[in-house]
Amino acid sequence: MITSPRGVGRHHGDLRASLLRAALELLQEGGVEALTLRAVARRAGVSPGAPYHHFADKDALIAAIAGAAFAELHLVLSEAAHGAAAKNAAGRLQAMCAAYVRFALHGPARYAVMFHPDLGQSPAMQTVAGAALAAFEQLNLAVAAVSPRPDPRGQREAALLVWATAHGAVVLQLGGMVRPLTPSLDDTTRLAAQVAAACVGVAACPPLDPPDEPLSQAQDATAQGGDDPAQASVFAEMADSP
């Protein structure tokens, strides 16, 4: 888990972890714009060239932060599912989606980096894609247990829609849109619970098309990343999954 204690200069032999903690502090204070390798080195109390032993450039550092954050999200979802093991499938999914919202809102700077557009330009993105895929598969398994869709493709579509629902609510809250639109939801606990309930409803929706309906060439190309080479390389591993 990434933590961000003050005074990270003493890295106790684990320079990479110390640099990541320093980078997270800078993110929380000033966003991605405040994140430079020189600033990270200064915050960690090491020489300006030290970060280059672990990160080729800023994009590689961002990718490392995002990869660690997705790995942490996977752990959070796993713990939520385990904690709700006594509940039915809908209850487990609801617990996981609520945990997702809380995870995002408790670390908005970290969450923003997980979906930062520069990730698509980093050679280190494959690591991030693998961590993101693991988190998605955790969610996909929970959705499959609730969804009435009988085929794996339909269940993955439902899982993506559930993720989109949770992600969209998080973006609205972090963007300051929830309070003026629906003041009653401007509370992390209540918002997480309501979004989670909505996610279960999304998962339980039947498909709009027959499960054996083949994708058109255009749809298949879009699923593989469309015309954007960076985006295609970012999500190639996820798109190739069954």
Residues 195 and 216 in one domain: yes
Residues 44 and 77 in one domain: no
Structure confidence by residue, pLDDT tens digits, 184-234: 999 999 999 999 999 999 999 998 766 555 555 545 444 444 444 444 444
Nearest Cα to Cα of residue 7 among 18, 101, 161, 16? 18
pLDDT band at 58 (very low <50, low <70, confident <90, very high): confident
Question: E-strand spans in the chain?
Answer: none
What's the total number of domains in the chain?
Answer: 2
Q: How far apart are CA 105 and CA 57, in angstroms?
A: 28
Structure confidence by residue, pLDDT tens digits, 79-110: 999 999 989 999 999 999 999 999 999 999 99
Residues 153 and 69 in one domain: yes
- The half-sphere exposure of 21 on its side-chain side, counting CA atoms within 13 A, is 18
Residues 51 and 139 in one domain: no
Q: Are 149 and 157 contacting, i.e. CB atoms less than 8 angstroms apart?
A: yes
CATH number reported for the structural domain that contains residue 205 in this entry: 1.10.357.10
Residues 17 and 71 in one domain: no
Record the pTM.
0.80
> What six digits make up the tokens of 126?
């494959």
Cβ-based neighbour number of residue 72 at 10 Å = 18
Residues 46 and 77 in one domain: no
Range of the structural domain that residue 123 is part of = 64-239
Q: Which residues of 22-48 are buried (b: 16+ CB within 10 A; e: fewer)?
A: bbbbbbeeeebebbebebbbebbebee
- Residue with the larger pLDDT of the pair 37 and 10: 37
| Amino acid identity for residue 56 in this structure | A
Residues 202 and 228 in one domain: yes
Residues 46 and 99 in one domain: no
Residues 105 and 51 in one domain: no
